Amino acid sequence: MGDDTGVPAEVKEILGKTGVYGEIYQVMAKVLEGSDKGRVMRRNVKGPIKVGDVLVLLDTKTEAKPIRAR
């Protein structure tokens, strides 16, 4: 884990809010570079976000669990 660089991913869809206070957005993001280029994955994002924003992911292997209805 000596790699300090991130991998850009573009937000394609906002799935919903999660977290105790609804402060976390769950999004589908398409990886733009690296070994997982083209992969669309579910990620949790804190803070304001909109479709088309570019995230810098430090890890492209882990994926967020789907939001469950209560």
Give the span between the Cα atoms of 27 and 12, in whole angstroms.
7
The whole-number pLDDT of residue 1 equals 47
Confidence of residue 68 (pLDDT cuts 50, 70, 90): confident
CA distance 27 to 18: 11
Q: How far apart are CA 60 and CA 9, in angstroms?
A: 9
What are 4-25's pLDDT values in tens digits? Answer: 689 999 999 999 999 899 899 9
Structure confidence at residue 37 (pLDDT): 95
Q: pTM here?
A: 0.86
Which pLDDT value is given to residue 3? 57
pLDDT at 33 exceeding the cut of 50: yes
| CATH for the stretch 7-55 | 2.40.50.140
Instruction: Provide mean pLDDT across the span 49-70.
Output: 92
Give the domain ranges of the chain.
Answer: 7-55
